[in-house]
Structure 1
Amino acid sequence: MTTAPHETWQLRNGTAWVFTAGGGLSRPVVLAGDAGTDPAALAASLEDGSYAFLSELRARGRDLVLVGLPADAGISGDGGAVQEAVQRVIAEAAGDTPLAVGGTGRGALAARYALASMEYMRLDHRTGAYFSYNAAVPDLDEEAELMRLGGRPRAPMFLRMLDEGAADGLDEDEADLTNAGEAAPAGSLFSKEYGSWLLDNLPH
């Protein structure tokens, strides 16, 4: 299957690739990749490895917005890119299905910052689930900034995925649901275990 997007969005501090399940956005999932991972590489890791997460997601009627972040923007710049993508999704999506927003590595940290910042500013992010996979551990300055915003988004359910032996700087009981398992085979972002678990727990 081709991993070419249906649409590309140029963000102020990144790029988003949009994959729809049908004719337009209606049940969106926003996924921010690790810093320095462009959307093409991110899409390939979700489709061309041992588990085709992108195909499975679309088969369930979900749309995917992949956010590619630069290598060295910092948490506020990365978070701003995710926030911009979320706000565009809200503006363009049909229906009222809650969003799922998250990421991997620095992208998970950026999504956490973006949603917490929107809650701090009393902006409606319409997000039913925040998901995190092997999130980057924030440095001291980033942790202080996150604490100023409340630590993490409080409105959505928090779905946490963490490989055995990995660390994300969070307490064991921080998430609503946690899946700790083995890393995906080379070439895939998610293992089938993680991908299926995430899809099963997305908001309806």
Structure 2
Amino acid sequence: MAQEPRIDVELTLAQGEGTTSTEKLAELTRHLPPGPWFGTRIGPARRAGERQADEVWELRSARPYRREVAQGTAAVYRADGHQRLRRPFIFADGFNYGPSDLPGLFAYFNAPYEGSKIGFLDQLLAAGIDVILLGFEQRHTYIQANAGVAISAIQRAISEREGDAELIVGGVSMGGLITRYALAEMESQRLDHQTGTYLSWDSPHNGAWIPLILQQLAYFFESAPVEPGRIKPAELIRSPAAQQLLCAWVPDAKYSGPVATASELRTQFLAELEELGQFPVRPRKLGVANGTGNGTGRDLPAGAQAFKKQLPLVYYVEANFQPDRGEHQPIGEMRALGQVRRGFTSHVPGLDGAPGGILDTFGDIAEALNAEIPDAYKLSNFVPSVSSVALDFDPAKWNIDPYEKVEAAHEKSALDEYKCDTRNSEHSEVTRPLVDWIVEQLTRR
């Protein structure tokens, strides 16, 4: 029987240090990495002459979730030669802090990529597919709240569509979960979503991974005062979206206890998905993964030190890659404010090097702290391939090998068809293998 993944923190007083002075706190503040940490990097600088949206919809959920009525915006790009919507493709933004940047989202997904001079979205527009980019006023709020915005977008697209072509609905990263929930909710309420195809792009169907030691560091650095108006490092991982999204989460730097069920928000979200039948039934369900499907991950030795940094008389931090299960395995250490905190995990899989869409998580934080880190250690797993292709396993217990060769496991997936990248590319990166497959699937008649 699988044991529950957990974390334990040991707190001791730092020998000979006592409490930290006001001067030390000020010094610590000056060396804080900018917050919030762990945001994804969708939205590059825009290019001159970038295509402008044909119209913009202001959207509002028709129902509250936990007393919150979410709002959002959709940027509509009609296909070449279309005066009205004919074949709408609603593509939702994903996990990050604050409001969506829809022009940046368009620029990101339409930028030329290796092997092609034509952007992904331009290929769809040339093929007669109308692109509707869906953004949210608060990307970090409850998935269910933003699903209400997605429902409003679907209903608006149906009302403005010319003809009866079925919709394509999906999203990148958490946007795939938002639209998955929206479509399933509509089916449960017998609302006709008229959607023939659902598409997720590196969406964490069974959870995303941010190393527990780095989550602890984000909370740890909030011990120092923050300048007015500056967002704290842990604001994103403290958010409802992160609590629902992450397969392992801690509420603060001193927390000891279970990590897969630490947040009741994730427990409730998983229960609601189960009640809705997990996925919508009517659409053909497609997905792409930025991770490999052949079981090849990154060479990040489980339990090894990733980086360490000491600022004399101010702080010391040490971060290890996540050990692979085991009992009471060390993940790192933090010293400041007269305290020493050492973290240990039990039964947590070593996900940092597993196949999946990657982020520069260790690298970003090491760079912000001016800590030395090997180039090969900067990038680590964010959305495991076993999650993005929606394999059938318990997302709270992780009773699966994260290195499973998913390219040969289609019968275990909740998706009808999916495509993995040929390498572990950056989470949500636009690559030729993924674009070629998506365009072929969406233009198939």
Q: TM-score, normalised by structure 1?
A: 0.92
Distance 1:29 1:183, change over 3 A: farther
CA distance in 2, matches of 1:117, 1:142: 13
CA distance in 2, matches of 1:41, 1:140: 33
**For 1:1-204, what aligned pairs fall within 5 Å after superposition?**
2-12=50-60, 13-21=71-79, 22-36=82-96, 37-50=100-113, 52-69=119-136, 70-136=138-204, 137=207, 138=245, 139-164=266-291, 165-166=355-356, 167=384, 168=387, 170-171=390-391, 172-182=412-422, 189-202=429-442, 204=445
Which of structure 1's runs of 4+ aligned residues deviate more than 4 A? 182-186
CA distance in 1, matches of 2:122, 2:424: 17
Partners of 1:18 and 1:64 within 8 A in 2: yes
Distance 1:198 1:10, change over 3 A: same
Cross-structure match for 2:342: none
Larger radius of gyration: 2
Structure 1 range deviating more: 12-21 or 160-169: 160-169
More helix by share: 1
CA distance in 2, matches of 1:15, 1:150: 28
Partners of 2:111 and 2:120 within 8 A in 1: no
CA distance in 2, matches of 1:163, 1:5: 27
**1:192 shift after superposition:** 2.3
CA distance in 2, matches of 1:76, 1:127: 19
Partners of 2:290 and 2:429 within 8 A in 1: no
CA distance in 2, matches of 1:154, 1:81: 20
Partners of 2:168 and 2:195 within 8 A in 1: yes
Partners of 2:169 and 2:179 within 8 A in 1: yes
CA distance in 2, matches of 1:132, 1:79: 14
SS state at 2:196 partner: strand
Cα deviation digits, residues 105-145 of structure 1 (max 9, x gap): 11000000000000000111011111111113243221111
CA distance in 2, matches of 1:189, 1:26: 28
CA distance in 2, matches of 1:123, 1:161: 27
SS state at 2:148 partner: helix
SS state at 2:144 partner: helix
Task: Give the gaps of 5 or more residues in structure 1.
Answer: none
Task: Give the gaps of 5 or more residues in structure 2.
Answer: 1-48, 61-70, 208-244, 246-265, 292-354, 357-383, 392-411
CA distance in 2, matches of 1:35, 1:10: 20
**1:3 shift after superposition:** 3.0
Identity rate of aligned residues, in percent? 33
**1:24 shift after superposition:** 1.2
Partners of 2:290 and 2:421 within 8 A in 1: yes
Cα deviation digits, residues 170-193 of structure 1 (max 9, x gap): 21421110101146977x842222
Q: How many residues align?
A: 204
CA distance in 1, matches of 2:193, 2:429: 26
CA distance in 2, matches of 1:74, 1:129: 24
Given residue 163 of structure 2, which amino acid in structure 1 is its aligned partner? Answer: G
